[in-house]
Structure 1
Amino acid sequence: MKPIELMRAEAVNLTEDPDEVCGYWRGHLVWVKQEDADGLWYVRVNHPDGGYLYDGFWRAHRDCTAADAVAEAFRGAELLEDE
């Protein structure tokens, strides 16, 4: 499954809009928000203990979607490395 599909299937308190996705996946807070029309996304992933696994801007192509940003969050935080 793609990361956005995992979020839709398993996330708690999921909110999803074209420019923002936020929810708790397996205890990890995953939050992405497009900050401007040039494709700058803010990505944050917090470990269940509160530590930051990913916190910063992702400069994506203008056509990237929220699903692409969620995929980047999962990649950057290595959420699927054990699977």
Structure 2
Amino acid sequence: MSLDKFKAWFRQASFYAEEAYNAPYRSAIARAKREQDDLFMLLIFSEMMGVPNPASYYTLELQPLLLERFHDWHTRMGMEHSPLDNIKCC
């Protein structure tokens, strides 16, 4: 058996082993994804219809922590200054 054939066989065996390992968890992962999508749609549509986002009140105290992370993020993305007009972190 040549090395290329062995590598191809090993790749295929690895793929099947990974599929067999992940199979029991597929439904749980799909359910969690659906729940996240449902929550996202609820928040987006409620904000679009004028209903205030209830999470904004509870996450207001996290703003100082998020501001530091936001600064790190926009500098990593190559933006010298904040891309948002209402958030001045630099």
What TM-score range do you get, normalising by the shorter chain?
Answer: under 0.3
TM-score by structure 1 length?
0.18
Q: Which has the greater radius of gyration?
A: 2
TM-score by structure 2 length?
0.18
Give 1 or 2: higher strand fraction: 1
Give 1 or 2: higher helix fraction: 2
